[in-house]
Amino acid sequence: MNGHEFNTSFPMGERFGDHPYDGEYPGRLIIVEGIDGSGKSTQLDLCGKWLRNMGFVTVFTEWNSSPIVRRTTKRGKDGRLLTPMSFSLIHAADFANRVYTQILPALKAGTIVLADRYVYTAFARDAARGVNRDWLRRIYSFAVQPSLALYFKVPLEESIHRITTGREEIGFYESGADMGLASNRADSFRAFQGKLLDEYDSLTEEFGLVTIDATKPIPNQQQLVRQYVEPLLEGVMKAPGQTVTEALSSLGLTGRYIRPPGHHDRDTAEVVDG
């Protein structure tokens, strides 16, 4: 456990009480996790295209994307005003907003929610910044249990190579420079990513995340992803020949899922406030 205080495994919510919606919605929540450069977003995108080609309705959501909180986060980052605890609380507020206004309605409608990062991102990043792990699990105890949690594991040096290639500079908080780990951002980024890898190793043991070797060829990884996802598809909402907007509109959800993110095609809906 790398010296961490937890030595027993438990699913999300069990340690601090079951979530009232666990297991009671017809949709599926599929989440991907991994350090920067792991390729998780690519794999989630490929999975989404595969699901939509089969007629399933999918909804996309990503970390730190709530319009209510995003402006505050940007202001804090620009001014370098965020302490580890304030950073943690802002992300918790962002996540809570997305869960109750975005993720739960989509799951209740029977759609497949594809989440690029989930609470495990907070558990890893905030703990790496020194925030109490027990407190983190309590503050996120409202999170619903994912149907499938995939962790794309990549070696530290490979991650650094993928992130730094073609980039002029790594952001202040992205590099972990706020923690004083090193005298320059490159070394700080390396140290911070190493801390994140340690945290994810512990989270994999604690929560039973499904680990995929992110150094394998992209098609091989995607084949594994589909093998894990396929058994979850029975009874999930399908709407062949309809766009996501049309399918969700028929359920009275117009306004929440109508704006696609720029890096996805028109049949992927981003969960946004209506």
> pLDDT at position 272, please?
30
Tokens representing 69 are 């909180």
> pLDDT at position 105, please?
86
Q: Which amino acid is at 252?
A: G
What are the sequence ranges of the domains in the chain?
Answer: 28-270
> pLDDT at position 171, please?
79
Q: What gap in Å lies between CA 253 and CA 111, rounded to an integer?
A: 12
CATH class of 28-270: alpha beta
| CA dihedral (110, 56, 154, 220) positive or negative | positive
> pLDDT at position 273, please?
29
| Per-residue pLDDT tens listing for the chain (274 residues) | 333 333 334 455 444 445 555 567 889 999 999 998 899 999 999 999 999 999 998 989 988 877 777 777 777 777 777 788 988 888 899 899 888 888 888 888 889 999 999 999 999 999 999 999 999 999 998 898 899 999 999 998 898 888 888 677 777 777 777 777 878 888 888 889 999 999 999 999 999 999 999 999 999 999 999 999 999 999 888 877 666 667 666 666 644 443 433 444 434 443 332 2
Using alpha carbons only, give the angle 186, 190, 195 rounded to the nearest 5 degrees. Answer: 145
Phi, psi of 68 (to 5 degrees): -70, -35
Q: What gap in Å lies between CA 207 and CA 14, rounded to an integer?
A: 11
Q: Of 141, 147, 121, nearest to 20 (Cα)?
A: 141
Whether 92 and 140 have beta carbons less than 8 Å apart is answered as: yes
Within 10 angstroms of residue 102's Cβ, the number of other Cβ atoms is: 23
Phi, psi of 46 (to 5 degrees): -65, -40
Query: 3-state SS string over the chain?
Result: CCCCCCCCCCCCCCCCCCCCCCCCCCCEEEEEECCCCCCHHHHHHHHHHHHHHCCECEEEEECCCCHHHHHHHHHHHHCCCCCHHHHHHHHHHHHHHHHHHHHHHHHHCCCEEEEECCHHHHHHHHHHCCCCHHHHHHHCCCCCCCCEEEEEECCHHHHHHHHHCCCCCCCCCCCCHHHCCCCCHHHHHHHHHHHHHHHHHHHHHHHCCEEEECCCCHHHHHHHHHHHHHHHCCCCCECCCCCHHHHHHCCCCCCCCCECCCCCCCCCEECCCC
What CA–CA distances, in Å, run from 46 to 53, 85, 102, 230? 11, 35, 22, 14
Q: What gap in Å lies between CA 182 and CA 192, rounded to an integer?
A: 10
> pLDDT at position 239, please?
77
